[in-house]
Amino acid sequence: MMKKIIAMLLLLAVLMTGMTSAFAAETEGYDGSEVTIKFYTAMGARLTPVLDAYIAEFNALYPNIKIEYTADAGYDDVRDQISTEITVGSQPHLAYCYPDHVALYNLAKAVKTLDDFIDSEAVITRADGTTEILGLTAEQKADFIPGYYAEGQQFGDGLMYTLPLSKSTEVLYYNKTFFDENNLKVPTTWAEMEEVCAAIKAIDPESIPMGYDSSSNWFITMCEQYKSPYTSATGDHFLFNNEVNHGFIKMFRDWYQKGYITTQKLYGAYTSGLFVNTTGTRSYMSIGSSAGATYQRPAANADGSYPFEVGIASIPQVDPANPKVISQGPSLCMFKKDNEQEMYATWLFMKFLTTNIGFQAEFSEASGYVPVLKSVAENEYYADLLAKADGGKHIAFLSVKVCLEQADAYYTSPAFNGSSVARDQVGTLLDTCLTIPEGDVDAAIEDAFLDAIDECEYSVF
């Protein structure tokens, strides 16, 4: 209900403030004017020292651009604050964002598209006398991991609304010690996953072989892997009620009934807790965020060793020759302002953070998120970190290493007003269907899908 109220306010803002009108024609770029840029983030105190260091580096090049940022709010808090500020025209210049946030802001036409900046060949002179073109060079564009960069164009009109800042995905954590001792093969397909779960259940009948943290991600990823409709940014938005999707839901229900799997909602907590258990009911595989690798590692023994070694692999696929893995994590979006120089300055800072190899390397090290540039892996400092990757002390770097190795597999879903509701509904749908009792299972699954579609359509007005 809160999201619906915000959306109504944003539409009202369009009518009252005329934000749909065109902004002034573009000039030749930033002219050195003194400007202050408001930047809303959700990075927290742990990451701000890295940001502070690179703001200082940026200010050495552009001393008249002052960056003021907030860092303590959560992602939803940033979204709600900006949505409120848009209604009175006081939104920031730059913000952390997820695609559904941008779709919400776009109800008021408040987000500045980036295509003109990206393609600009205007030459900007910096304070040290060096120059750069305003836009992105061909090399800079090519350096972005393709799936991360493509997220900025998922809004139905082919225009670029965001640039990726730092990313995460899902990976398969497995108890390597247990797998090695029992000659188990790490599953690369869902068919193999079922076989491995059955083998683990035979070895440890009290176990729940595999936990999956995000039911929403699981459903959406299966749609992508099966090339089955999920949503669309244009036309009919909610397309996920189809036979292919019914099929994989029914398959996973069978697995759940056999005790092979659980989810965060059904388990009642992150399934990493089940995975790191060394006594009682435990799991031997866990699919969760790549940025949460340290939570998938068991507590250390008194001597600093670990009860078992953790392995990390890509998640199973329907077709390993055409892998699909979800792209998550914050991007940056820029907001329209009447002052063109403020927008040029904002773009320069946005470009600086997203294309700076040093920032990407240090931010990844501090956060556990994946850098968005391919070349970061070749950076001497960062390459040394990746070389230390293991399933114990340096598990975070092992996770990042796996993510970089699957750089061509990332996908993003369409973003529109209602896309976040669809995401929530398919997660609830999956959890609901896993627990369907014996009886007319097909009919119960059909009813669950229809209920989810109804909830999604109700959310859009």
Q: What is the pLDDT of residues 46-68, one digit of tens each?
A: 899 999 999 999 999 999 999 99
Q: What is the pLDDT of residue 287?
A: 98
The percent of residues in the chain predicted with pLDDT above 90, rounded, is 91
For residues 137-155, give the mean pLDDT.
96
Non-local (6+) Cβ contacts of 432 within 8 A are 448
Q: How confident is the model at residue 376 (pLDDT cuts 50, 70, 90)?
A: very high
In terms of Cα–Cα distance, which of 185, 162, 3 is closest to 96? Answer: 162
Tokens 């983030």 map to which residue?
41
What does the pLDDT average to over 294-300?
Answer: 96
Q: Are 274 and 266 in contact (CB under 8 A)?
A: no
Higher pLDDT, 380 or 8: 380
State residue 27's pLDDT score: 45
Q: How far apart are the first and last CA of the chain?
A: 12
Range with the poorest average pLDDT among 8-17, 134-143, 216-225, 395-404: 8-17
- For 396-420, write each residue's pLDDT tens digit: 999 999 999 999 999 999 999 899 9
Residue 72 — very low, low, confident or very high, per pLDDT cuts 50/70/90? confident
3-state SS track over 314-371:
CCCECCCCCCCEECECCEEEEECCCCHHHHHHHHHHHHHHHHCHHHHHHHHHHHCCEC
Sequence-distant (≥ 6) Cβ neighbours of residue 370 within 8 angstroms: 145, 166, 167, 168, 169, 290, 291, 329, 364, 400, 403, 404
Strand locations in 187-229, DSSP E? Answer: 210-212
pLDDT at position 18 over 70: no
pLDDT confidence of residue 461: 64
pTM over 0.85: yes
The predicted-structure confidence for 342-359, as pLDDT tens digits, reads as follows 999 999 999 999 999 999
Residue 320: pLDDT band with limits 50, 70, 90: very high
Secondary structure class of 144 (helix, strand, coil): strand
**9 vs 32 pLDDT, higher one:** 32
* 25-29, 91-95, 287-291: range with lowest mean pLDDT: 25-29
| pLDDT, tens only, 414-455 | 999 899 999 999 999 999 999 999 999 999 999 999 999 999
**pLDDT band per the 50, 70, 90 thresholds, residue 24:** very low
What confidence score (pLDDT) does residue 286 get? Answer: 98
Across all residues in the chain, what is the average pLDDT?
A: 93
**Do residues 360 and 251 make contact, with C-beta atoms less than 8 angstroms apart?**
no
**Residue 459: predicted pLDDT:** 82
Which among 292, 290, 286 has a CA at the least distance from the CA of 271?
286
User: Nearest to residue 291, comparing CAs of 222, 224, 365, 360?
Assistant: 365
The pLDDT value given to residue 110: 96
pLDDT greater than 80 at residue 70: yes
Q: Is the pLDDT of residue 16 over 80?
A: no
The pLDDT, as a whole number, for residue 14 is 46
Mean pLDDT of 211-216: 97
Q: Look at residue 73 in the predicted model and tell me its pLDDT.
A: 82
Spacing of C-alpha 195 from chain mean position? 30
Quote the pLDDT of residue 3.
Answer: 52
Predicted confidence at residue 353, as pLDDT, reads 98
Give pLDDT tens digits for 245-291.
Answer: 999 999 999 999 999 999 999 999 999 999 999 999 999 999 999 99
